[in-house]
């Protein structure tokens, strides 16, 4: 995948705060316009971690959808969460 056309965010915090951020992100960058995908990486009773992946612009998205297989998380790095 060409990382130059994607925006990737990893967010960690309480379920309430992460859910609110995801809701805001989807409002600002709708799936139909940016192909936004939210992948849940971890969820415990105290912490939730998600990865948000989207095209950087509407023009790059052009109605395409980002599709990833379950358990395959794009743009993994050597950094441990």
The domains found in the chain, sorted by start residue, are 3-61 (3.30.70)
Q: Considering the chain, what percentage of its residues have pLDDT values greater than 70? A: 79
Assess contact for 74 and 68: CB atoms under 8 A. yes
Whether pTM > 0.85 for this model: the answer is no
Task: For the beta carbon of residue 38, count every other beta carbon within 10 angstroms.
Answer: 17
- Which helix (H) or strand (E) segment holds residue 20: the answer is helix 15-28
Query: Residues 19-74: pLDDT tens digits?
Result: 999 999 999 999 999 999 898 888 999 999 999 999 999 998 887 777 766 666 56
């Amino acid at each position: 995948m060409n990382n130059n056309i994607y925006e990737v965010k990893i967010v960690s915090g309480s379920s309430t705060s992460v859910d609110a951020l995801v809701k805001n992100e989807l409002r600002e960058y709708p799936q139909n316009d940016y192909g936004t995908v939210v992948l849940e990486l971890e969820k415990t009773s105290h912490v939730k971690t998600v990865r948000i992946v989207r095209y950087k612009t509407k023009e790059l998205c052009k109605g395409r959808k980002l599709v990833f297989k379950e358990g395959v998380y794009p743009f993994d790095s050597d950094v441990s969460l």
